[in-house]
């Protein structure tokens, strides 16, 4: 899907840096720790730091002929899949501690559209796996507040999330996978990273990823090789190191492990589950822009450290929304319901080609919608009795279908507006239907449509309508006439 990049500009001491939404968590942490000027310098350093060791490698495999914006390169890239007509797709599912919000809906609906385009337009079989994070700091905190078990809380919101996706008509993934049902796999995955020399355990029973062990390879996604890291205890070798396993704490769920009782860190769950299904190579990874750093960045580091590969995920797709009033109004105005009607075969073929070309170019749905709206405008022009340049109608069949649908729709709306509040009055005496006050606008709209249709030869006859289509060649010729049921 064509995804608009969201950016802002920071100006400190005369230096300007353009940041997208994923940088702001780190920006705030840097400001809190170092001050605005030092924070900006730090971000500039990260932005221009050497990326030679983090360079994206063009995948080998089947070139689909499509292009998609790749967050790894910050530009459109040819979509190349490891297997012909098959796309492996992993997405970060919800952390089920609360109700799904607008951000969730936006992300999942957008990527659902992309997956439908791939499968239904281009014949690509999308194998989609989504994780359900059912153990997490937020879940534990909310469970304590609600005085219920984390499992009960997570199951409740998981079910609600799935119902929300059904109501949004979002296709379910091939499989949902819960974190708590994959703890043994997660432990083995952590052991593999330790064995490869990229993680270490502490005296507190924690396990951390060793950022220094991978050198400049960290930061492939956001270029944040010099991040200040996550909060942690003094046992961390480097402030940038992040937790793979957290030692048990009172009142928290825990599982036995080689490092003592504990639970998984935030990022390791996705790396483990994606790898357990798809192995050492993934075609597409998707998620909200807020997850790009640190979550997706750390996923990449973990997977490449475990698999000992140069590039684990080939394409990262991110989605986000802007919260300004203007942008929300623009989004609302772009939504349009297009009635089904028969149209000129040439126009339909041209529109179909335009739509496919747009969708193949980074899933450019705005351009595809423009093509559809152009077709609608052509249909509207065909409804006019005489065009501005004096040309005649090309297809009586087209007009017949369009006018028939419009007349039927008007009749149904008018009947609804006239329907009484109580359809079975007492006494058995038929009464003339009187419109309800709240339905007067519908009747006015129907009257306006009737007046607009009169010049086209459509006449309301009470219970039904008659209409005819006329074409002018050498002289007036009656093309079709008939009585249509309302």
Q: Mean pLDDT throughout 37-55?
A: 50
Number of domains in the chain: 4
How far apart CA 357 and CA 389 sit, in angstroms, is 31
pLDDT of residue 337: 29
Position 389 in a domain:
no
- Domain holding 376, by residue range, is 343-382
Indicate if 43 and 60 belong to the same structural domain.
no
Average pLDDT value for residue range 204-211: 96
The reply to whether 218 falls in a domain is: yes
Q: Pick the residue with more confidence: 156 or 47?
A: 156
Which residues contact residue 85 at a Cβ distance below 8 angstroms, ignoring those fewer than 6 apart?
62, 123, 124, 125
Find the mean pLDDT for residues 30-36.
Answer: 54
| pLDDT range class, residue 77, cuts 50, 70, 90 | very high
Q: Which two tokens stand for residue 305?
A: 């450290």
Confidence band for 324, pLDDT divided at 50, 70 and 90: low
Residue 53 CB burial class (10 angstroms; 0-12, 13-18, ≥19): middle
Query: Same structural domain for residues 198 and 230?
Result: yes
Identify which has the larger pLDDT, 276 or 334. 276
What confidence tens digit (pLDDT) does each residue in 391-406 have? 444 445 445 555 666 6
Residue 201 has pLDDT above 90, yes or no: yes
- What pLDDT is recorded for position 149? 95
Q: pLDDT band at residue 476, thresholds of 50, 70 and 90? A: very low
Sequence-ordered strand ranges (E) for 122-274: 125-133, 175-178, 199-201, 207-209, 243-247, 262-264
Over the chain, what is the mean pLDDT?
A: 77
Over 80: is that where the pLDDT of 100 sits?
yes
> At 467, is the pLDDT very low, low, confident or very high (cuts 50, 70, 90)?
low
Asked if residue 93 belongs to a domain, the reply is: yes
Q: How many CB atoms within 10 Å of residue 305? A: 24
pLDDT-based confidence at residue 101 (cuts at 50, 70, 90): confident
pLDDT value of residue 412: 66
Tell which of 11, 31, 48 closes a domain.
48
Asked whether residue 273 is domain-assigned, the answer is yes
Give a yes or no: residue 370 inside a domain: yes
| Secondary structure (DSSP) of 262-324 | EEE-TTHHHHHHHHHHHTT-EEEEEEEGGGIIIIIHHHHHHHHHHHT-S-SEEEEEEE-----
Domain shared by 79 and 27, yes or no: no
Is there a domain that residue 332 lies in?
Answer: no
Asked if residue 471 and residue 356 are part of one domain, the reply reads: no
Strand-pairing partners, residue 246, are 263
**One domain, residues 31 and 149:** no
Confidence category of residue 302, pLDDT binned at 50, 70, 90: very high
In this structure, the answer to whether residues 194 and 253 fall within a common structural domain is yes
166 and 275 housed in the same domain: yes
pTM to 2 decimal places: 0.63
Residue pair 172/165 in contact (Cβ under 8 Å)? The answer is yes
- The CA-CA-CA angle for residues 476, 477, 481, to 5°, reads 125
State the helix-helix crossing angle for 268-278 and 297-307, rounded to 10 degrees.
50
- Residue, of 139 and 419, whose pLDDT is higher: 139
Q: Per mean pLDDT, which of 127-131, 317-321, 430-434 is the most reliable? A: 127-131
Q: To 5 degrees, how large is the angle CA 138–CA 144–CA 150?
A: 65
CA–chain centroid gap for 317, Å, is: 9
Q: What is the pLDDT of residue 436?
A: 61
Q: Is residue 333 part of a domain?
A: no
Please enumerate in sequence order all residues whose Cβ is within 8 A of that of 47, keeping only pairs 6 or more positions apart, or say none. Answer: 17, 223
Q: Give CA–CA dist 271/282, Å, rounded.
A: 11
Residues 35 and 103 in one domain: no
User: Are 34 and 141 members of one domain?
Assistant: no
pLDDT grade, residue 310 (50/70/90)? very high
CATH code where residue 192 lies? 3.40.50.620
According to the model, what pLDDT value does residue 376 have? 75
Are 267 and 314 part of one and the same domain? yes
Q: What is the mean pLDDT of residues 61-87?
A: 97
Radius of gyration of the chain (CA): 30
The 8-class DSSP code of residue 255 comes to: B
- Burial label for 356, CB within 10 Å (0-12, 13-18, 19+), is middle
420, 422, 423, 429 alpha-carbon torsion, rounded to 10°: -100
What pLDDT shows up at residue 383?
57
The mean per-residue pLDDT over the stretch 456-482 comes to: 50
Whether 263 shows a pLDDT value over 60: the answer reads yes
Question: Is residue 60 located within the same domain as residue 31?
Answer: no
Higher pLDDT, 479 or 447: 447
Q: Would you say residue 84 has pLDDT above 60?
A: yes
Distance from C-alpha of 486 to C-alpha of 405, rounded to nearest angstrom: 10
Please tell me whether residues 106 and 247 are part of one structural domain: yes
Please report the pLDDT score of residue 480 as a whole number: 39
Render pLDDT for 329-385 as a digit per residue (tens, 0 to 9): 554 444 332 233 334 456 777 888 898 898 899 888 888 888 888 877 777 776 564
Q: Is residue 328, in this structure, part of any structural domain at all? A: no
Instruction: Give the confidence band of 16 by pLDDT, cuts at 50, 70, 90.
Output: very low
Q: 33-42, 240-249, 275-284: which has the minimum mean pLDDT?
A: 33-42
pLDDT class for 55, splitting at 50, 70, 90? Answer: confident
């Amino acid at each position: 899907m064509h995804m608009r990049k969201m950016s802002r500009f920071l100006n400190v001491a005369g230096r300007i840096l353009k940041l997208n939404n994923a940088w702001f968590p780190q920006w705030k942490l840097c400001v809190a720790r170092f001050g605005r000027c030092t924070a900006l310098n730090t971000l500039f350093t990260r932005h221009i730091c050497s990326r030679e060791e983090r360079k994206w490698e063009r995948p080998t495999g089947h070139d689909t002929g499509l292009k998609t914006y790749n967050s790894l390169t910050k530009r459109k890239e040819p979509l190349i899949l490891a297997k012909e007509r098959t796309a492996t797709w992993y997405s970060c599912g919800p952390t089920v501690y609360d109700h799904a919000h607008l951000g969730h809906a936006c992300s999942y609906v957008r990527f659902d559209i992309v997956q439908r385009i791939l499968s239904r337009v281009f014949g690509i079989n999308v194998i989609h796996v989504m994780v359900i994070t059912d153990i997490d700091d937020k879940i534990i905190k909310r469970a304590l507040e609600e005085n219920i078990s984390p499992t009960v809380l997570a199951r409740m919101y998981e079910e609600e999330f799935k119902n929300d996706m059904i109501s949004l008509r979002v296709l379910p993934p091939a499989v949902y996978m819960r974190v708590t049902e994959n703890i043994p796999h997660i432990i083995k995955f952590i052991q593999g990273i330790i064995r490869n020399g990229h993680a270490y355990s502490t005296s507190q029973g924690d396990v951390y990823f060793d950022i220094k062990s991978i050198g400049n390879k960290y930061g492939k996604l956001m270029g944040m090789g010099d991040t200040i890291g996550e909060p942690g205890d003094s046992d961390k070798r480097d402030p940038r190191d992040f937790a793979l396993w957290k030692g048990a704490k009172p009142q928290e769920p825990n599982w036995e492990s080689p490092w003592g009782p504990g639970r998984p860190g935030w990022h390791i769950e996705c790396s483990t589950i994606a790898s357990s299904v798809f192995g050492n190579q993934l075609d597409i990874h998707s998620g909200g822009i807020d997850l790009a750093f640190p979550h997706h960045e750390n996923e990449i580091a973990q997977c490449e450290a475990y698999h000992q590969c140069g590039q684990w995920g080939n394409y990262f797709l991110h989605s986000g929304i802007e919260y300004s009033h203007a942008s929300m109004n623009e989004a609302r105005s772009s939504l349009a319901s297009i009635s089904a009607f028969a149209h000129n075969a040439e126009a339909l073929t041209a529109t179909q080609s335009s739509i496919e070309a747009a969708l193949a170019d980074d899933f450019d749905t705005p351009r595809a919608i423009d093509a559809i709206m152009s077709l609608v405008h052509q249909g509207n022009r065909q409804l006019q009795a005489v065009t501005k340049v004096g040309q005649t109608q090309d297809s009586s069949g087209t007009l017949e279908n369009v006018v028939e649908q419009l007349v039927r729709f008007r009749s149904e709306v008018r009947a609804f507006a006239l329907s009484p509040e109580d359809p079975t009055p007492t006494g058995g005496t038929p009464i003339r239907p009187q419109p309800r006050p709240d339905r007067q606008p519908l009747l006015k709209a129907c009257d306006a449509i009737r007046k607009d249709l009169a010049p086209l030869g459509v006449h309301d006859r009470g219970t039904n309508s008659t209409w005819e289509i006329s074409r002018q060649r050498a002289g007036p010729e009656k093309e079709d006439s008939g009585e249509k049921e309302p």
